[in-house]
Structure 1
Amino acid sequence: MGPVSEPIRPARRGRLARSAAAFAVLLGLASYVAVHQMTGSKGTPRCSVGSGENRYEFTPEQASNAATISAVGTTRGLPERAVTIALATALQESALRNIEHGDRDSLGLFQQRPSMGWGTPAQIMDPVYSAGKFYEGLEKVRGYSRLPLTVAAQKVQKSGFPQAYAKHEPDATLLAAALTGRAPAALTCTANETEGRPGDPELVRTELVRAFGEKAAPRAVTGGPSAGRSAAEPPVLVVPVRAAEGAEAARDADGADGADGADERRGWELAQWAVARADALRITEVVYGGRVWRAGEAAGGWSVSPGAAAGSAETVRIRLAR
């Protein structure tokens, strides 16, 4: 017969194993909570949508990422509901910040994991790519537009906390209405018009095409040294307004009034994308639909401009810092 202590060793090992497993679960939960606390809005919000109690305030960084998520969705011909689901998911997973950390190997706006086949770390850290991968998964969910938002998001994300998406639906709905163009002049931002580097027309063109496709490529760039004029004259990009392929049908389902309604909505989508990305791309003025947004305006909103009305229905004019 062996020592008395021998028979109790397996039980002790079992307790140790259970304790280690419980500790791992608690560590994972603590990591998840810490990430979502750290990814809250930082700095003073300078962008907003909505009004009164039905209002969401957020930073230019968050606005830029939200605009990219929306643009990728509508360019795929998806309805506003898909954009709302994507924005609510990113609000929960990263607070709309493109973060380089998370639970285990999770990264980016949607906290996608390279080890789970979402892509390489570099790909996942590209907001256009990561948004596209989210929509790719969402499109495989049958009837996602009729499902509760938490259910639709969870079928893509496989999160350990699926009900958390629900609390972001009101804010995501406001953002989606503005960024898809259904709510004209709804997105307001303030930006510093004087500090920082000059705007780069080629960078703005690249970002427009990456988000919206070649049809959003500017028709012309006026002003600036690249146009053979004085460098003191700020560059202005003239962006055509036309519904993307597949977008008109999707927007008719959202309530757009035929081709004219789809084009007007597209114009406001492009215009408010430019406002949302103003800080990142050094945009100082956006003109569309007889209204103008200027970076230097204290309220950061849209104003009626008689000089902006002529010919502005078919193009969005984006002025850059010089």
Structure 2
Amino acid sequence: MPRTVSSARRHTGRSRRLRIAAAFAVLAALGGYLTVQYVSGGKGSEQCTVRSADGSDGRGRTYVLTSEQAANAATISAVGTTRGMPERAVTIALATALQESGLRNIEHGDRDSLGLFQQRPSQGWGTEKQILDPVYSAGKFYQHLAEVPGYSRLPLTVAAQRVQRSGFPQAYAKHEPDAALLAAALTGRTPSALTCAPPRTTAGTGEASKVRAALVRAFGKDVLPATDGAAEQTPAAGATAAGSLSVPVRPDRRSAGGARQHGWALAHWAVAQSEALGIDEVAYAGLVWEPESGWRTERKESGTTEVRMSLVH
């Protein structure tokens, strides 16, 4: 028996609604997937791992991130410690950047927000070019954080909100455990806690001059001694054999952990920057890091007076 016109219309309407619902489901799934990829940096791109101090037996906490995220986190930490800020300040800064940008130096955001901390040129944070410089933007964050009375004793959400004036202040809280884990490693308090495995195909040739410039920008001019014609030939000046760099580890009065902790901060910074700067080996305190094997005991034990970096060539 043929359908009536009304039943055919009902059938057509149901079919259309089912197709629309299916299309929305696909779009929602795709949107969720793209969001995950956007925050994580893409499928298969999580190349760095940081572990807690008790993670050597596999039972400690770990956090996985991309090389880009690790490099930005290391810059945020270095700028903070160079300014004499405590580890708690670094934790606050990292949690803020995790929430605002996923530790990615993005060129867009709400209204005119930009960069790691989504700072706004229209609100006096600096020019677009300045804000997109991780060293500058981290410095501005710490400058404002230091002006918050008793920030180190405040809940992280409160301290971060005093700086950011976010519409969602409680969102910072969920990032505190991961930020604390990162801060402990990147400030050097947890030795050999960060490892990265950047793909050799994307790591460019390393240049000692670029590594020196990046070190000075992140840690300040005192990270390397002043160089002159004679000093350039000595390891203490930061120059070793071709394709390598030696960074002296000296007592840092700004670091509560002393010279050894400062050394691990430098070593972890080098690992985090390995893809960006073409570093393929880091040695410090009897351990050596390589992309293929992570941290292992060095055959010829290195001391704690310098961090050695070998460059891709």
Which 4+ runs in 1 deviate beyond 4 A? 35-39
Contact 1:219 1:237 in 2 (8 A): no
* Equivalent-residue separation in structure 2 for 1:36 and 1:131 (angstroms): 25
SS at match of 1:285: strand
Look up the match of 2:231: none
1:104-125 superposed Cα distances (whole Å, 9 cap, x missing partner): 0000000000000000000000
Look up the match of 2:260: 264
Structure 1: state its 5+ residue gaps: 1-32, 225-234, 257-261
Instruction: Give 1:165-244 correspondences, 5 Å limit.
Output: 165-193=172-200, 196-217=203-224, 219-224=237-242, 235-244=243-252
Look up the match of 1:87: 94
Q: Of 288, 292, 303, which residue of structure 1 is paired with 2:288?
A: 292
1:255-283 superposed Cα distances (whole Å, 9 cap, x missing partner): x3xxxxx1000000000000011010010
Look up the match of 1:277: 273
Q: Is 1:102 matched with 2:93?
A: no
* Equivalent-residue separation in structure 1 for 2:196 and 2:157 (angstroms): 29
* Equivalent-residue separation in structure 1 for 2:211 and 2:221 (angstroms): 13
The alignment's TM-score, normalised by the length of structure 1, stands at 0.78
Instruction: Give 1:20-31 correspondences, 5 Å limit.
Output: none
The alpha-carbon deviation at position 242 of structure 1 amounts to 1.8
State the Cα RMSD in Å.
2.0
Look up the match of 1:146: 153
1:171-200 superposed Cα distances (whole Å, 9 cap, x missing partner): 000000000000000011112346543101
* Shift in CA distance, 39/116, structure 1 to aligned 2, threshold 3 Å: farther
Percent identity, please: 60
The number of residues matched between the two structures is 263
* Equivalent-residue separation in structure 2 for 1:57 and 1:294 (angstroms): 18
Give the residue type in structure 1 aligned to 2:299.
P
Look up the match of 1:306: 299
The alpha-carbon deviation at position 213 of structure 1 amounts to 1.0
Contact 2:204 2:276 in 1 (8 A): no
Look up the match of 1:41: 40
Q: Of 68, 74, 77, which residue of structure 2 is paired with 1:67?
A: 74
* Shift in CA distance, 128/54, structure 1 to aligned 2, threshold 3 Å: same
* Equivalent-residue separation in structure 1 for 2:69 and 2:200 (angstroms): 19
Structure 2: state its 5+ residue gaps: 1-31, 225-235
The alignment's TM-score, normalised by the length of structure 2, stands at 0.80
SS at match of 1:307: coil
* Shift in CA distance, 37/164, structure 1 to aligned 2, threshold 3 Å: farther
Contact 2:287 2:295 in 1 (8 A): yes
The alpha-carbon deviation at position 236 of structure 1 amounts to 0.9
SS at match of 1:247: coil
